[in-house]
Amino acid sequence: MDLSLLLQNIFAPTVLFFFIGVIAVFCKSDLEIPAPLPKLFSLYLLLAIGFKGGIGIQESGILNNQVLLTLSAAILMSLLIPLLGFIILRLKFNVFNSAAIAASYGSISAVTFITAESFLASQNIGSDGFMVGALALMESPAILVGLLLVRFAGPKNRPESRKLHLSSILHESFLNGSVYLLITSLIIGFLTSLSNPSAVEKMYPFTHSIFYGVECFFLLDMGMVAAQRLPSLKKAGSFLIGFAILMPIFNSIIGVLVARSLSLDTGNAFLFVVLCASASYLAVPAAMRMTVPEARSSYYISTTLGLTFPFNIVLGIPLYMSLVNKFIPISTF
């Protein structure tokens, strides 16, 4: 890993605010963010990034071959990763826990993606807005795979009240709150950019000017939440702790190879790799908690939020950029 990339990432304001949140918990500070605000920050970030992504897709051209191939590859990865994860996790865990954890690692973290975008900006490396389309499309397939694994690989004597029907699987996969807001915001951004460019300018202060500040505030809260989750990792055991670190690295290697085969430039390739390596701590846990109560939430939440998320935003991002720089030619704006 390039040490300069690591240092630049660590000293970014977003990552520093994350550390401040972690330190606050360890030092038993009385710092707290009122409960409704983190949810509001999360919704704002999803709305803003979806809207900007819709604009980016419209500008890139939705029928552009590069766009279509990249979005198709993103969907394929979100289907493949949970299957691979499930096979590995079944060595240690039952069907319910394996499916829930695997789905979490097949899905994505929007905040990790946003942090990666900020890192690209600090490196003066451009990326295309259609990568947000990949972000939006990688949420639902992983949830779908996880629920299908429970339905077809789970015990046949599951109580009727807990059996998964196709309608409930599709509902949780595509109408989960986070997924719904991200996709609909993307559609609105696309339609607005296509039909009313002046409205895009009016949205600019909301979707761009305050974005970075809200991200810092959100990561401050995430630092506190991640630190609070760390004690739960003791229950997970060494196998799951190793999985939480090694699986993202393994996925990033696959992501680099796919990005190279797609001839993505540096910025887009990096974001694609980050999406492959990230894990969901919002959409998938919410879906699994509702539909697969047999799975222990302490497994799939503490690992994704307490370990994988901090690893990715502190060490993973510079590591993935180093991989991209090694295998994909650098392109800067």
**pLDDT tens string 86-114:** 999 999 999 999 999 999 999 999 899 99
Q: What is the mean pLDDT of the chain?
A: 88
Residue 90, CA distances (Å) to 99, 143, 181, 195 in order:
9, 18, 33, 50
Q: CA 235, 238, 242, 245: dihedral to nearest 10 degrees?
A: 40
pLDDT of 181 higher than 50: yes
Give the model's pLDDT for residue 158.
67
Domain boundaries, the chain: 3-21+35-327
What's the pLDDT tens digit per position in 114-162?
A: 999 999 988 889 888 889 889 988 988 999 999 899 888 877 766 655 6
Give the model's pLDDT for residue 329.
67
What residues contact residue 9 under an 8 Å CB cut-off, 6+ apart? 15, 119, 313, 314, 317, 318
For residues 67 and 206, the answer to whether their CB atoms sit within 8 Å is: no
Give the model's pLDDT for residue 285.
83
CATH number corresponding to 3-21+35-327: 1.20.1530.20
**What average pLDDT does this structure show over 49-77?**
89
